[in-house]
Structure 1
Amino acid sequence: MTARPQPPHGRLPIAAAAEARRAAGRLIRQDGRAFAAMLALNGLAAAAGLGGPWLLGRIIDDVRAGAGPEHVDRLALGILGFALAHLLLGRFARYTGYRFGERTLARIRERFVERALALPAPVVERAGAGDLMTRGTADVATVGTTLRDAAPEVTVALVQVVFILAAMLAINPLLGLCGTLCLSGIAVAVRWYLRRAHAGYLAEGDAASGLADVLGSTAAGARTVEALGLEERRIAAAAEAIERCRVTRTHTLYLRSVLFPVVEFSYVAPVAAVLLLGGALRGSGAVSVGAVVACALYVWRLAEPLDKVLLWLDQLQRGNASFARVEGVGRIEAPPVTGDARPVDERIDVVGVRYAYQGERDVLHGVDLTVRPGERLAVVGPSGAGKSTLGRLLAGAEAPRTGRVTVGGVPVAELHPDRLRRHVVLVSQEHHVFLGTVRDNLRLAAPDATDQELHAALAAVEVDWADELPDGLDTALGAGGHHLDARQAQQLALARVVLADPHTLILDEATSLLDPATARHTERSLAAVLKGRTVIAIAHRLHTAHDADRVAVMDGGRITELGSHDELLAADGGYAALWRSWHGG
C-alpha cells in the first residue's frame, strides 16, 4: 500500500461539495429540456433491453409446454425487434447526452473565463499562475470529458441497472432479491473507494498545479537561473514537485487496484446464487425453468452496465474534483464596491497607510502623502523600500491594512473598477503582448480609436519600428506572428497608456527596458502628451527625479524626505547621497 498523500494545501479555493452540487444543478436547469429528453430516451432504451431475456424465458417455458416452431419464430422475431429498438434508442440517448454535455461545457468555459478575468490581481499573484492555468486547461478538459463521455454512458448504465433489477423482482421476488443481495460486495467496495477518491484526486490536481508553477517560473526566468547559477536548486524544486505528483498519482492508482478486482469477483457470485436457488425452487415447483433462466440472464446482463458505471467511476471522481477546482475560482469575490461615488477632483491622498503582504510583516509603515492634480512626482529609494507597493496602493491594485487612499475625496475601494481606471492607470515593467494584430493590442485601451490616433500614440512614445512591420497595424503579434522584443513590447504598452488618457499615470519602472537616453526622451515625450495629467514615476534612474516637480524618498517602508530636487540636494540628506552615488561623485 502506498502512503496517503497530504491533503491539498490549495492555492485558489476549492468549492465545497454542497457548492459544487448547487452549481451542477444550475447547469442542468439551464438546459433542462435536453436533460429530461436524455433521461427519457435512456429509460426507453433500458426498457427495450429487458425484452430479450424475458422472451427467451417464455420460449423455454412454451417449448416445454409443447409450443411449435412457428410460435418460437414469432418470439424470436420479438427478441430481434427489442434488440433493434434498444440499439436505436440507446444511440439517440447518447447523442442527446453528448449535445447536452458540449453545451454545458461551453457554459462552464465561458463562466470560468469571466471569473478568471474578474479575479483581483493580488489573488492571482499569490496563488501563482500555474494553479489558474491548470484549472483553466487540465481541469476544464477533465470536466469536458466527464460531461461528453462519462455522464451519458453512466446515465444509460444506471437506468439499465434499475430496470434490470426491477424486471428480476417482477419475474420472481426471491430470485430477484437473491441476485440483488449478492451484489452487495460491489456496494461495499464502491463506498470504500468513494470515501477516498475525491480527496485523492484533489491532491493530484493540486500537485499538478504545483508542478506547473515550478516549471513555468523556471522557464520564464531561465536567463536569471543561468546567470545566478541556480540550476541545481531549480532542478531540485522540479524533482520535489514531480515526486509529489508521483505520490498522489500512485495513491489514486492504488484505490483503483483495490476496487476493480473486488468488482470482478462480485459479478460471478449473483449468477451462481440465482442458479442454485432457482434449482431448489424448481425442485419444489415454485418457479419455472424459464423464470430461472430469465433471472440468471438478467443478473448476467447486469455486468455490462455495472462495468460501464465502474469503469467511468474513476473519470467521474476526476471530473468531480476538477469541477470543484473550477468552481472554486468563483468563491473569490472582488472587493465590494459600496456605491457609485464620483471624485470631486483628481487629488490623491494617502493617510496613515500600513500594508502587509499575506502572512508577512508590514512593508509600509504609516505613509502620508498628497499628490496634487497635474503634479509630476518621482518616488525614489533603495530596493525593498516599498516604492512599488505604494504604487499598487495608489492604483487600487492593493488595499491598505490600515489607513486610507482616496481619489478626489473618495476611497479607492469605493470606486467602481471602470471609473477607477479612467482616473488612475498603473504601468509596470511587466508588459504583455496579446494575440492579435498591432491594432488589436492598441485598441484594448481605446476600442474606437482611429488609425490616425493609433499612429499618433505610437509616435508619442518614440516608436520607430511600426512602419517597418510587414503589414503595418495589421501585423499579427504573438505565437506564430511577428515577435516584439522587450523594448518594443514596453513601447507598445506605453502607447496604450497614451490612448487610455488617464488623469493619473503611475509609472513603475515602466521604461526600465529602454536605454537611459531613450528612456529619458520617452518619459519627456509622455509628459508632453499627458500635459496637465498627474504623473507618479517610481524609478531607480534619478534623472526622472531631476525632471519632477517633487521627489518622495522612501526607505524602510516610510517616506523619509519630500520636496523638489533642488530642495532635497540642499538638505544634504538621503536623497543627496543617492544623487552623488548615482553620479559617481
Structure 2
Amino acid sequence: MRSLLRLRTYAYPIRWYLAGAVLAALLASGAVLVTPLVLGRIVDGPIGHHDRAALWPLIGLLLLLGVAEAGLFGLRRVLIARPLAKVEAAMRRDLYAKLQRLPVAFHDRWASGQLLSRATSDMYTLRLFLAFALIFLIVNSVTFLTGSVLMLALDWRLGLIALAPSIPLILFCAWFETRYSKASRTAQDQNGDLATVLEESVLGIRILKSFGRQRTMARQFRERAQLLRATELRKTWMLADLWSVIVGLPELALGSSLAVGVVLVAHDELSTGSLVAFLSTALALRWPVESMGWLLAYSNEAGTATDRFFEVLDTPEPEPVRGTAGEPDGSGIRFTGVRFRYPDAPADSPDLLGGIDLHVRRGETMALVGATGCGKTTLTALLPRLYEATAGRITLDGRDIAALPPGELRSLVAVAFEDPTLFSATVRENVLMGAPDAADAALEKALATAQAGFVADLPDGVDTEVGEQGLSLSGGQRQRLALARAVVGNPPFLVLDDPLSALDVRTEALVEAALREVLADSTALVVAHRPSTVLLADRVALLSDGRIADVGTHAELLERCTEYRALMSGALERSVA
C-alpha cells in the first residue's frame, strides 16, 4: 500500500471520475445484494400463498435490478476509460522527460530493456490497477461487509457459520502477499532483461549474422525466457494455493450453513424464504470473496510496477550550481584542474582524468591526441556536460559551464561523435537536430560541408527516411550526416570526435577542405587519430596518463615529444597500410 499510495499524485486530477466509477460499481453491487431479499420475499409471499398476481411485480423488480446492475457496471467503464488513458500518458511523459534529464552515466548503468519495460508493460499494469483492481478492492470490500451484515440480520447463527473462515483467510492472504510481491518484482526485472536481449539482437542483427552467432543469442534469449517462465509458474502456484483456500473454506462454510439452515426450517425456527435469501446472499458474496485472490495478486504486481516506475523518477539529477556563469570574455575553452572518474569505478582505482589544464584560444582549433583508452572522448564529453567533472572547472569564453542551463550550454556546443547515431526520421530531421530553426540554405550548406552529396541521389532527397539507427546508409554516409548535424547551426564551440574515421581518402580530403572554412569561425576541440586530421588544427594537445603531457603545433611536437612521434608514426603506418 505504501508503494501504491504514491500513485495518488497522478490519480488526483481524475479523482471525481474514480469516485464516480466506485459509486457506480457500489450501486451495481447493491443491486446484486437486494436481489436475494426480493427472492426471499417471493418465496415467503406469492409462492407460499399461491398469489400469482403479487408475483409479477416482484419478477419485474428482479428484471429491473438486473438491468440496473448491467447498466451501472457499463457506466463504470465509460467513466474511467478516457481519464485513465490520460493518466497513463502523463506517467509515460514524466518517465521519458526524466530519462532525458538524467546524465549519461545513468544510462551507462541501466540496460535499455529495463527502461523500456518500465515505459510499456509496467504502465499497462498500473493502468489496469487503477481501472479495475483499485475500484473492486474498494467495492468488493464494502460489498462483503454489507452482505455480512445482511446475513447476520437474516439469521445470526447461519451468519456466524458463513463468516467463520474470514480470520484464517485474512492471515493466509497476509502470508501470500509477502511471497507474491517478491516474485512479482523478480518477474518484472526478468522481463526487462528479456527485452534487453531482444533489443540487442534486433539492433545487432548484422553482426550476429556476419559472425554466425544467431544460435548464441537464441540460447541467451531462451535462457532468459525460461527464467521468466519459471518465475511466472511459481507465481501461478502461489495464486493457485491462495485460490484453493479462498474458494475452499467459504464453500465448506456455505455447505455447513445450508445444513444448519435446513434443520432450522424443519423446526420452524427459520422461514424458507429467509433461508433462500440467506443462501442467495452468501452466493452473491462468492465473487467478492473469490476475486480477492486475483485482486491481491494484481495489486502486488502494481505495487512492484510502481516501485520500478518511481525508482527512475527518484534518481537524483545533477544539482544546479548556484550563482551565475559570468559574462563572455572571448577567452575560448579553458580546463582548469579538471578531474573525472566514472561513478561505478572501483574505489581504489585512479581517476581517468587526473587534473587537466588546457586552454583552447578563441577561434582556435585544438587537436587532442593520445593512446587508445587514455580518456580523449571522455574529456570532450565533459564540454556539453554529458558527464559531470568530478573536480575542477571548465569555462567557455569565461563562463562556467556548470552554472549554465543545459539547454543554453548545448546550444553553444555542437558535437559529432565517432560512432554516429541517426534516428528513424528523414535526412532533414536528423541534420536539423543540430539547429531546429535553421533555414533550408543552412541545411544545404551543412550537407555540402560534410560532402553529403549522396543525399541528392536518395529516393526523396533530404526527405528520405534513413531507417532505425540509419542502417540503410553506409558508415561513411552516417558519419557525414552526423558531421552536417554538428555544423548546421554555425556553433561558436565545436567538438569533433575523430569525425573522418569512416571516410575514404578522397572524401576525407574534400571534407577537410570544407571543414577548414567552418573551423575558422568556431573554437573547436577535435579528437584526432590520424595525421591528416591533426593537420586541421592550429595546435595539438597530447593526453597521457590522465593529464595534458604537452601542447604545441604539429611540427613542434614532432620535434620535441617522443610519445607524440610514436603516436603519429604508428598512425601514419596504419593509414599507408
TM-score, length basis structure 1? 0.88
| Equivalent position of 1:562 in the other structure | 551
| Equivalent position of 2:34 in the other structure | 51
2:365 maps to 1:372: no
Name the CA distance, whole Å, in 2 between partners of 1:224 and 1:439. 28
SS in 2 for 1:547: coil
| Equivalent position of 1:446 in the other structure | 435
| Equivalent position of 1:350 in the other structure | 335
In structure 2, give the amino acid aligned to 1:527.
R
Name the CA distance, whole Å, in 1 between partners of 2:401 and 2:49. 92
Name the CA distance, whole Å, in 2 between partners of 1:232 and 1:365. 44
Q: Classify 1:238/1:41 alpha carbon distance in 2 versus 1 (closer, same or farther; 3 Å).
A: closer
2:541 maps to 1:552: yes
Name the CA distance, whole Å, in 2 between partners of 1:234 and 1:555. 38
Deviation at 1:571, TM superposition (A): 0.2
| Equivalent position of 2:395 in the other structure | 406
SS in 2 for 1:554: strand
| Equivalent position of 1:12 in the other structure | none
Q: Please give the residue correspondences for 1:282-297 in structure 2 after superposition, counting only pairs within 5 Å.
A: 282=265, 287-297=270-280
Q: Classify 1:372/1:172 alpha carbon distance in 2 versus 1 (closer, same or farther; 3 Å).
A: farther
- Kept in 2, the 8 Å contact 1:429–1:509? The answer is yes
- Kept in 2, the 8 Å contact 1:154–1:308? The answer is no
| Equivalent position of 1:76 in the other structure | 59
| Equivalent position of 1:437 in the other structure | 426
Q: Classify 1:26/1:553 alpha carbon distance in 2 versus 1 (closer, same or farther; 3 Å).
A: same
Name the CA distance, whole Å, in 2 between partners of 1:232 and 1:247. 22
| Equivalent position of 2:414 in the other structure | 425
Q: 233-242 or 532-541, which moves further after superposition?
A: 233-242
Name the CA distance, whole Å, in 2 between partners of 1:429 and 1:141. 38
In structure 1, give the amino acid aligned to 2:299.
L
- Kept in 2, the 8 Å contact 1:57–1:290? The answer is yes
Name the CA distance, whole Å, in 2 between partners of 1:176 and 1:384. 77
Name the CA distance, whole Å, in 2 between partners of 1:31 and 1:270. 40
Name the CA distance, whole Å, in 1 between partners of 2:67 and 2:220. 58
Q: 354-363 or 400-409, which moves further after superposition?
A: 400-409
Deviation at 1:125, TM superposition (A): 1.8
Spell out, residue by residue over 1:498-518, the C-alpha distance to the aligned partner (whole angstroms, 9 max, x if none).
223322111112332222442
| Equivalent position of 1:140 in the other structure | 123
| Equivalent position of 2:288 in the other structure | 305
Q: Classify 1:247/1:90 alpha carbon distance in 2 versus 1 (closer, same or farther; 3 Å).
A: closer
SS in 1 for 2:535: helix
Name the CA distance, whole Å, in 2 between partners of 1:482 and 1:123. 26
Q: Classify 1:19/1:408 alpha carbon distance in 2 versus 1 (closer, same or farther; 3 Å).
A: farther
SS in 2 for 1:395: coil
Q: Classify 1:65/1:342 alpha carbon distance in 2 versus 1 (closer, same or farther; 3 Å).
A: same
In structure 2, give the amino acid aligned to 1:101.
L
Name the CA distance, whole Å, in 1 between partners of 2:53 and 2:550. 108
In structure 1, give the amino acid aligned to 2:491.
P
Name the CA distance, whole Å, in 2 between partners of 1:369 and 1:45. 74
2:320 maps to 1:334: no
In structure 1, give the amino acid aligned to 2:316.
E
2:97 maps to 1:108: no
Q: Classify 1:20/1:188 alpha carbon distance in 2 versus 1 (closer, same or farther; 3 Å).
A: closer
SS in 2 for 1:436: coil
2:111 maps to 1:122: no
User: Number of aligned pairs?
Assistant: 568
Q: 252-261 or 65-74, which moves further after superposition?
A: 65-74
Name the CA distance, whole Å, in 2 between partners of 1:580 and 1:457. 33
Deviation at 1:97, TM superposition (A): 2.9
Deviation at 1:574, TM superposition (A): 0.4
| Equivalent position of 1:497 in the other structure | 486
Q: Classify 1:222/1:268 alpha carbon distance in 2 versus 1 (closer, same or farther; 3 Å).
A: same
- Kept in 1, the 8 Å contact 2:98–2:313? The answer is yes
Q: 561-570 or 394-403, which moves further after superposition?
A: 394-403
Q: 460-469 or 507-516, which moves further after superposition?
A: 507-516
- Kept in 2, the 8 Å contact 1:182–1:269? The answer is no
Name the CA distance, whole Å, in 2 between partners of 1:522 and 1:19. 56
SS in 1 for 2:414: strand
Name the CA distance, whole Å, in 2 between partners of 1:434 and 1:153. 43
Q: Classify 1:235/1:509 alpha carbon distance in 2 versus 1 (closer, same or farther; 3 Å).
A: farther
| Equivalent position of 1:10 in the other structure | none
Spell out, residue by residue over 1:421-456, the C-alpha distance to the aligned partner (whole angstroms, 9 max, x if none).
122233212333223333322332322222222212
Q: 232-241 or 334-343, which moves further after superposition?
A: 232-241
Q: Please give the residue correspondences for 1:162-561 in structure 2 after superposition, counting only pairs within 5 Å.
A: 162-221=145-204, 238=221, 241-279=224-262, 281-282=264-265, 287-339=270-322, 341-345=325-329, 347-357=332-342, 358-360=344-346, 361=349, 362-478=351-467, 483-561=472-550
| Equivalent position of 1:4 in the other structure | none
In structure 2, give the amino acid aligned to 1:529.
V
SS in 2 for 1:500: coil
Select 2:567's aligned residue among 550, 553, 578. Answer: 578
- Kept in 1, the 8 Å contact 2:442–2:489? The answer is no
SS in 2 for 1:351: strand
Q: Classify 1:306/1:20 alpha carbon distance in 2 versus 1 (closer, same or farther; 3 Å).
A: closer
Q: 83-92 or 139-148, which moves further after superposition?
A: 139-148
Name the CA distance, whole Å, in 2 between partners of 1:493 and 1:185. 66
In structure 2, give the amino acid aligned to 1:477.
V
Q: 431-440 or 385-394, which moves further after superposition?
A: 431-440
Q: 526-535 or 61-70, which moves further after superposition?
A: 61-70
| Equivalent position of 1:13 in the other structure | none
Deviation at 1:333, TM superposition (A): 3.5
- Kept in 1, the 8 Å contact 2:421–2:469? The answer is no
SS in 2 for 1:116: helix
- Kept in 2, the 8 Å contact 1:335–1:413? The answer is no
Select 2:82's aligned residue among 80, 99, 105. Answer: 99
Deviation at 1:496, TM superposition (A): 1.7
Name the CA distance, whole Å, in 2 between partners of 1:251 and 1:563. 66
Q: Classify 1:258/1:444 alpha carbon distance in 2 versus 1 (closer, same or farther; 3 Å).
A: same
Q: Classify 1:90/1:213 alpha carbon distance in 2 versus 1 (closer, same or farther; 3 Å).
A: closer
Spell out, residue by residue over 1:467-487, the C-alpha distance to the aligned partner (whole angstroms, 9 max, x if none).
222223332332599933332
Spell out, residue by residue over 1:547-577, the C-alpha distance to the aligned partner (whole angstroms, 9 max, x if none).
3111111223222222111111110410012
- Kept in 2, the 8 Å contact 1:94–1:152? The answer is no
Q: Classify 1:289/1:226 alpha carbon distance in 2 versus 1 (closer, same or farther; 3 Å).
A: closer
Deviation at 1:106, TM superposition (A): 2.1
Deviation at 1:379, TM superposition (A): 1.0
- Kept in 1, the 8 Å contact 2:177–2:296? The answer is no
Q: Classify 1:203/1:277 alpha carbon distance in 2 versus 1 (closer, same or farther; 3 Å).
A: same
Q: Classify 1:389/1:272 alpha carbon distance in 2 versus 1 (closer, same or farther; 3 Å).
A: same
Can you give the 5+ residue segments of structure 2 that lack an aligned partner in the other structure?
Answer: none
In structure 1, give the amino acid aligned to 2:339.
R
Spell out, residue by residue over 1:521-546, the C-alpha distance to the aligned partner (whole angstroms, 9 max, x if none).
32442331242311111122222223
Spell out, residue by residue over 1:127-174, the C-alpha distance to the aligned partner (whole angstroms, 9 max, x if none).
122221222223223334444555556555445434433432343344
Spell out, residue by residue over 1:166-200, the C-alpha distance to the aligned partner (whole angstroms, 9 max, x if none).
43234334433432232444333322221122221
Q: 214-223 or 69-78, which moves further after superposition?
A: 214-223
